[in-house]
Amino acid sequence: MDVIGNRNLRWLLEMKARQYADKECIVFEDRMGAVHRYTYREVNEQVDKYATVLSGLGIKKDDKVVLHLLNSPEYLFSWFAIAKLGAVTIPTNVLSGAFEMEYYVNFSDSVAVITEPSYMEMFQGILDKCPAVKHVLLARTSPLYPTKKLYPAPW
Residue 149 pLDDT: 74
pLDDT at 146 over 90: no
Checking if the pLDDT of 1 tops 60, the result is no
Residue 148 has pLDDT above 80, yes or no: no
pTM listed for this prediction: 0.89
Q: Is 10 left (phi over 0), alpha (psi -120 to 50) or beta?
A: alpha
Please name each of the domains of the chain with its CATH number: 9-152 (3.40.50.980)
pLDDT above 90 covers a percentage of the chain that reads 76
pLDDT at residue 96, as a whole number: 97
pLDDT digits (tens, 9 = 90+) for 35-91: 999 999 999 999 999 999 999 999 999 999 999 999 999 999 999 999 999 999 999
CA distance 73 to 29: 10
| Each residue's pLDDT tens digit, 3-13 | 567 788 888 89
pLDDT score of 145: 55
